[in-house]
Structure 1
Amino acid sequence: MRLHKLKELLEVKGLKCAIITSPASIFYLTGYDYITTDIGNFVALVYCDGIATLIVPLLELYRAQDKVKEIDLVAYSTTLEGEKIIKGSLKDAILNFIKENKIGLDIQNTSSIFYNYFSKFEIIDLSKDISIMRSVKDQEELELIKRAGDITTAAMKIAQDKLTNSEISEKYLAGIIDMTMRTEGAEDYAFPSIVAFAENSAFPHHIPSDKVIKEGQNAVVDIGARYEKYCFDSTRTFLKGENTEIKKIYEIVLQAQLEAIDKVKEGVKASEVDLAARRVIEKAGYGKYFIHSTGHGVGIEVHEYPSISPNSDAELKENMVITIEPGIYLKNKFGIRIEDTVIVTKRKPIVLETTFKYL
Structure 2
Amino acid sequence: MRINKLSNIIEKGCGAIFGSSNIFYFTGYNGAGVLLYCDGVATLLAPLLEENRALETKGVDVKIYYPTKVSEDIQYTSIIDAIEKITSRNSIFADISSLDASTYLRLSSKFELKDISSQISALRSIKDLEELDIIKKSGEITSVAMRIAIDKATEQVNEKQLSGLIDYTMKTEGAEDYAFPSIVASGENSSEPHHIPTDRVIKEGDSVVIDIGAKYQGYCFDSTRTLLVKKFSNDLKKIYEIVLEAQLEAIDAVSDGIKASEIDRIARNVIEKNGFGKYFVHSTGHGVGIDVHESPYISFNSNDVLKKNMVITVEPGIYIKGKYGVRIEDTMIVTSGKPEVLETAYKLL
| Alpha-carbon offset, residue 242 of structure 1 | 2.5
Please give the alpha-carbon distance, in whole angstroms, between the structure 2 residues aligned to 1:97 and 1:190: 36
What secondary structure does 2:271 align onto? helix
Which residue of structure 2 lines up, in the alignment, with residue 259 of structure 1? 249
| Alpha-carbon offset, residue 213 of structure 1 | 1.1
Q: Does the CA contact (< 8 Å) of 1:18 and 1:105 recur in 2? A: yes
| Alpha-carbon offset, residue 87 of structure 1 | 3.8
| Alpha-carbon offset, residue 111 of structure 1 | 1.1
Q: For residue 10 of structure 1, what is the amino acid of its counterpart?
A: I
1:125 equivalent to 2:122? Answer: no
Superposition pairs for residues 144-293 of structure 1, below 5 Å? Answer: 144-164=134-154, 166-243=155-232, 244-293=234-283
Which residue of structure 1 lines up, in the alignment, with residue 15 of structure 2? 18
What secondary structure does 1:69 align onto? coil
List per-residue Cα deviations over 1:265-310 (Å, max 9, x = no partner): 0100000000010000000000000000000000000000011000
List per-residue Cα deviations over 1:19-51 (Å, max 9, x = no partner): 0010000000011012xxxx4xxx110111111
1:3 equivalent to 2:3? Answer: yes
Which residue of structure 2 lines up, in the alignment, with residue 330 of structure 1? 320
Please give the alpha-carbon distance, in whole angstroms, between the structure 1 residues aligned to 2:76 and 2:20: 23
Superposition pairs for residues 103-142 of structure 1, below 5 Å? Answer: 103-119=92-108, 120-142=110-132
Please give the alpha-carbon distance, in whole angstroms, between the structure 2 residues aligned to 1:163 and 1:78: 52
Which residue of structure 2 lines up, in the alignment, with residue 80 of structure 1? 69
List per-residue Cα deviations over 1:81-106 (Å, max 9, x = no partner): 66542141221112121222221111
1:54 equivalent to 2:47? Answer: no
List per-residue Cα deviations over 1:206-259 (Å, max 9, x = no partner): 000000111111100000000001000000000110221111000000000001
The 4+ residue runs of structure 1 with deviation greater than 3 A are 81-84
5+ residue gaps, structure 2: none
List per-residue Cα deviations over 1:147-178 (Å, max 9, x = no partner): 000000000000110123x1110000001101
What secondary structure does 1:96 align onto? helix
Segment drifting more, 72-81 vs 248-257:
72-81
| Alpha-carbon offset, residue 115 of structure 1 | 1.2
Superposition pairs for residues 305-344 of structure 1, below 5 Å? Answer: 305-344=295-334
Please give the alpha-carbon distance, in whole angstroms, between the structure 1 residues aligned to 2:272 and 2:337: 27
Give percent identity, aligned residues only: 58
Q: Does the CA contact (< 8 Å) of 1:17 and 1:46 recur in 2? A: yes
Which residue of structure 2 lines up, in the alignment, with residue 143 of structure 1? 133
5+ residue gaps, structure 1: none
Please give the alpha-carbon distance, in whole angstroms, between the structure 2 residues aligned to 1:252 and 1:322: 21
| Alpha-carbon offset, residue 71 of structure 1 | 1.1
Q: For residue 149 of structure 2, what is the amino acid of its counterpart?
A: A
Q: Does the CA contact (< 8 Å) of 1:73 and 1:84 recur in 2? A: no
Q: For residue 156 of structure 2, what is the amino acid of its counterpart?
A: E
Q: Does the CA contact (< 8 Å) of 1:55 and 1:94 recur in 2? A: no
Please give the alpha-carbon distance, in whole angstroms, between the structure 1 residues aligned to 2:147 and 2:29: 33
Please give the alpha-carbon distance, in whole angstroms, between the structure 1 residues aligned to 2:63 and 2:192: 46
Which residue of structure 2 lines up, in the alignment, with residue 69 of structure 1? 58
Q: For residue 171 of structure 2, what is the amino acid of its counterpart?
A: R
1:27 to 24, 29, 33: 24
Segment drifting more, 94-103 vs 134-143:
94-103
Q: Does the CA contact (< 8 Å) of 1:55 and 1:74 recur in 2? A: yes
Please give the alpha-carbon distance, in whole angstroms, between the structure 2 residues aligned to 1:329 and 1:178: 25
Please give the alpha-carbon distance, in whole angstroms, between the structure 2 residues aligned to 1:134 and 1:84: 33
Q: For residue 26 of structure 2, what is the amino acid of its counterpart?
A: L
Q: For residue 162 of structure 2, what is the amino acid of its counterpart?
A: L
List per-residue Cα deviations over 1:180-210 (Å, max 9, x = no partner): 0000000000000000001000000000000
What secondary structure does 2:16 align onto? strand
Please give the alpha-carbon distance, in whole angstroms, between the structure 2 residues aligned to 1:186 and 1:87: 36
Q: Does the CA contact (< 8 Å) of 1:298 and 1:323 recur in 2? A: yes
| TM value normalised by structure 2 | 0.97
What secondary structure does 2:88 align onto? coil
Segment drifting more, 291-300 vs 108-117:
108-117
Please give the alpha-carbon distance, in whole angstroms, between the structure 1 residues aligned to 2:83 and 2:70: 15
RMSD of aligned alpha carbons: 1.1
Please give the alpha-carbon distance, in whole angstroms, between the structure 1 residues aligned to 2:40 and 2:207: 56
